[in-house]
Amino acid sequence: MSYLGKEPQYTSFPSESFSGDGTAMSISLDRIPSNAAAALVFIDGIRQDTTAYTIDGSLLTFTDTVASGTDNIQVVILGIIEDAGAMGDETVTVGKLVTTGTASSGTFLRGDMAWTDAQPVGGIAGEDVFFTNEKEINSSYTIPASTNAMSAGPINIASGVTVNLSSGSNWTIA
């Protein structure tokens, strides 16, 4: 069959069956639904309104008694919460970034995702002798171990902000 656009994709939704015991019972689900509406709950084939149960994590608790029966409760999960995990340190490489220009040891990545030559600002044409920096530090910063940092002073460090020197690092304010 032909389609305009993307061909439809189909999937199945996980389903579990349980046996009622005549009480306002609780059931531990194999999967965690994203919310109560993402779980379709049926008792003896009749869909239950979300007011008939609560879901806390994987625990489904009925607010009223459930008729006794063998596999008379069916729960179909429509939306599942999956833990995608956190990205590990140093897992995003330059090749995965959408940038312009060329990365090298003499460039830095600007906020607009363009690689730019690291160079001083101003001066007479052909004589790049001026470097500029802000006069106030508004965010805490740690100078990495075994590195040097330099700022032109005077420098004001805002209240509650810290500049930490790691082992073997130096900060010069000229």
Distance CA 114, CA 111 (A): 7
Residue 135: pLDDT over 70: yes
- Does some domain include residue 114? yes
- Does some domain include residue 6? no
pLDDT digits (tens, 9 = 90+) for 24-68: 999 999 988 888 888 999 999 999 999 999 999 899 999 999 999
Regarding whether 71 and 34 lie in a shared domain, the answer is yes
- Cβ contacts of 59 within 8 Å, gap of 6 or more: 26, 27, 28, 29
Regarding whether 22 and 62 lie in a shared domain, the answer is yes
What pLDDT shows up at residue 95? Answer: 76
Regarding whether 98 and 148 lie in a shared domain, the answer is no
Regarding whether 107 and 152 lie in a shared domain, the answer is no
Number of domains in the chain: 3
Closest of 142, 122, 144 to residue 133, by C-alpha: 122
Closest of 47, 50, 29, 28 to residue 38, by C-alpha: 50
Is the pTM higher than 0.75? The answer reads no
Structural domain boundaries enclosing 30: 15-77
- Does some domain include residue 151? yes
What pLDDT shows up at residue 174? Answer: 84
Regarding whether 52 and 68 lie in a shared domain, the answer is yes
Regarding whether 122 and 139 lie in a shared domain, the answer is no
